[in-house]
Amino acid sequence: MATAPTAAAIDGKYSATSGSNIRSNLRHSQQRPPNTPHTPQHSRGISSFASTSSQGSLRNDEDAIIFEIGSRWLRAGFEGDSTPMCSVGFGPEESRRVGDYRGWARNNSSQAEEKTRQEPVDPDFWASPYELWRMDLRDMDLGLVEDRIERAFRETYNKYLLTDAGTSRLVLVLPSLMPHPLLSSVLSTLFSRWRFPSITLLPGAAMATAAAGLRAALVVDIGWAETTVTGVYEYREIAIKRSTRGMRSLTTAMGRFLSRLARKDNNEAQEGQPAALEAISVDFEYCEDVVNRFAWCRPCGHDEESTGQDEEEPSDPRLVSKKIVSIPSPSTPGLNYIELPFGSLAEPVEQALFAQGLADCVLDDQEKPLHVVVYNTLLALPPDIRGTCMSRIIFVGGGAHIPGIRRRTIQEVQALVDQYGWSPVRGKVVDEQLRKLQDLRLSKQPPPAAQQPEPTHEEKAEEQDFVEQKLRRNNRDKDLKPFVHGMLRDVESLGAWAGASLVTALKVRGLVEIEREKYVQHGLAGASRDLDTHVPDRRSGLRAGDRSSWTLAGWG
């Protein structure tokens, strides 16, 4: 007698049948393309791959931290990055003490404080609150410099880098022309306040060359305190010239220009005082903003005359100079505006950087114009290195962003080369001898070309060296780019910080690596004077502790 199926059996059979149907439907759906959007089967693999790649993109704790320190700014970031993470300035706002609320109470200041702020200031002390250091250390408090360096580093680590100071390698990009007391203050502050195991020093000119993808260049650093021109060959500094004409001179000249406009606007006059000793009555922030926005440089004089023949050309410098621009009034920057010709804003650049109206004989060696310093640096280089560097001129620094400054400098240098050549000898006697040689060369008429027999193909082949022929054939086969040599040309660079980031990411050993223990014991006096110190290869497995001595290299 058959028994009726129970409810549990019916439920189990239904569930088994439903499960087999579902699996068969899934198999059929996998064989034919779906008609509606669906979740991919490898979603878990994609999510796991995304999580793995996100974990791999995190910064390694062993990555070095790179600081570029100047007299006005500090840039910081990690190795391998193309740009720094932050740029910290040095000014009154960054130097406030606890309880100093003048930055927030400026709008509510009394008329007496506003009058005191607008009083004329000595140009020598006008920009000093915005500087970290000066190359002239006679009137500088190095203890205050150390405190400001410590505050800037601490703020950079806690606010921007978000990492512990002293756990990673530290790389400093510094100018090679730096006083030893100032360098000692920087290193002592970092070693005493934090537990850095070692500090690597890299020269700014060589790092700017590396950031341009070159091995040799002429680096023109138009910085705040001075302009430095460095000839770099195979990443070594061959010749260095400098001048006190920099962005501080330009900002001071623009401050005097704006102060004259303010006095003219207020119907005031300054009696019997030369322009070089005029007091400045405008704010530093306002003057620096005008320099960054409106300062520009005219082209060379002979080029300006040639381009000025076409009056309808929109790029004519004379037409551009006559245009009227509106800037905030120097007397009341937040209320009124004044109109003036755009060409007048180029006069401070001409006076500060190119010494317009001054003869070369009345200038000291440290006051030479920008183009003269570049020419003298090229003149100090050997001829083969000079031909390579003059075709790879790199402009860096704050002054490199002034419109027209690069073109004007190269034109002025070309004019000096056309006038004097590559001879350092000057004088009336030399000019007279050159004139006689020129007349003698013109008096000798060359024979006509028809009378000279044309050399045969065999004679031409004999004149050419077989080594030269082989080199030309190899270069033609490889389709190499021609090597630019012997012409004045400027190239672009990402800057010294980007070059240091690239060099550090490649794990290239620095020539100056200062260990903490050795520096704490002897300071800068423990540096070796041996100029033939070789850098260990990174592939040889040598570490920083394998060095028995260390050297300051270019800073020595």
pLDDT per residue rounded down to tens, the chain (556 residues): 444 444 444 444 444 444 445 444 544 444 444 444 444 444 333 333 333 333 333 456 678 999 999 999 999 999 999 999 999 998 887 777 777 776 676 554 444 344 434 556 666 778 888 999 988 888 889 999 999 999 999 999 999 999 888 778 899 999 988 899 999 999 999 999 998 989 999 999 999 999 999 999 999 999 999 999 999 999 999 999 999 999 999 999 999 999 999 888 776 655 555 555 578 889 999 999 999 999 999 998 744 443 333 333 445 667 788 889 999 998 888 888 999 999 999 999 999 999 988 888 889 989 999 999 999 999 999 999 999 999 999 999 999 999 999 999 999 999 999 988 898 888 888 888 888 888 887 777 666 554 556 656 555 555 666 777 777 777 665 656 677 888 999 999 999 999 999 999 998 877 899 999 899 888 888 887 654 444 444 443 334 444 456 788 878 6
Give the pLDDT confidence of 222-262 residue by residue, as tens digits.
999 999 999 999 999 999 999 999 999 999 999 999 999 98
**Three-state SS letters, 280-309:** ECCCHHHHHHHHHHHCCCCCCHHHHHHHCC
Distance CA 379, CA 364 (A): 18
Contact assessment for residue 288 and residue 251, using Cβ atoms and an 8 Å cutoff: yes
pLDDT at 273: 55
pLDDT in tens, 331-373: 888 888 999 999 999 999 999 999 988 888 889 989 999 999 9
- pTM value is 0.77
Return the pLDDT at 452. 54
Q: What local confidence, expressed as pLDDT, does residue 395 receive?
A: 97
Q: Provide the CA 58 distance to its chain's centre, in angstroms.
A: 28
Q: What is the pLDDT of residue 465?
A: 67
**Strands of the 170-174 sheet, one edge to the other:** 86-89, 73-78, 65-69, 170-174, 198-203, 512-515
Chain mean pLDDT for the chain: 78
Which one is the CATH code of 214-245+366-435+484-492: 3.40.640.10, 3.30.420.40, 2.30.29.30, 2.60.40.1180?
3.30.420.40
pLDDT at 171: 95
At residue 428, the pLDDT reads 84
Cα(172)–Cα(201) distance, integer angstroms: 5
What pLDDT was estimated at residue 181? 92
Tokens of 383: 């001829």
For residue 509, the model assigns a pLDDT of 79
At residue 36, the pLDDT reads 46
Q: What does the CA dihedral 364, 370, 372, 373 come to, rounded to 10 degrees?
A: 80
305: tokens are 């005359």
One-letter amino acid for residue 181 of the chain:
P
CA distances from 177 to 180, 232, 239, 496, 498 (A): 9, 14, 12, 15, 20
Nearest CA to 66 out of 494, 496, 523 is that of 496
- Helix (H) / strand (E) element for 395: namely strand 393-396
CA gap 386, 217 in Å, rounded: 9
Q: Quick one: pLDDT at residue 391?
A: 95
* Greatest Cα pair distance in the chain: 142
* CATH superfamily of domain region 65-90+131-212+496-555: ATPase, nucleotide binding domain (3.30.420.40)
Per DSSP, what are the bridge partners of residue 196? Answer: none
Alpha helices, DSSP H, located in 337-369: 347-354
- Listed by start position, the domains of the chain span 65-90+131-212+496-555, 214-245+366-435+484-492, 247-354
d(CA 78, CA 76): 7
Taking the alpha carbons at both ends of the chain, their separation in whole angstroms is: 112
Question: Which residue's entry shows tokens 């080199």?
Answer: 471
Q: Looking at this protein, which amino acid is placed at residue 245?
A: R
**How confident is the model at residue 18, as a pLDDT?**
45
Q: What is the pLDDT of residues 12-32, one digit of tens each?
A: 444 444 444 544 454 444 444
In this chain, the answer to whether the domains covering 65-90+131-212+496-555 and 214-245+366-435+484-492 adopt an identical fold is yes
Contact 395, 490 (CB under 8 A): yes
Phi-psi region of 426 (alpha: psi -120 to 50; beta: other; left: phi over 0): beta
Q: Which residues are bridge partners to 317 per DSSP? A: none
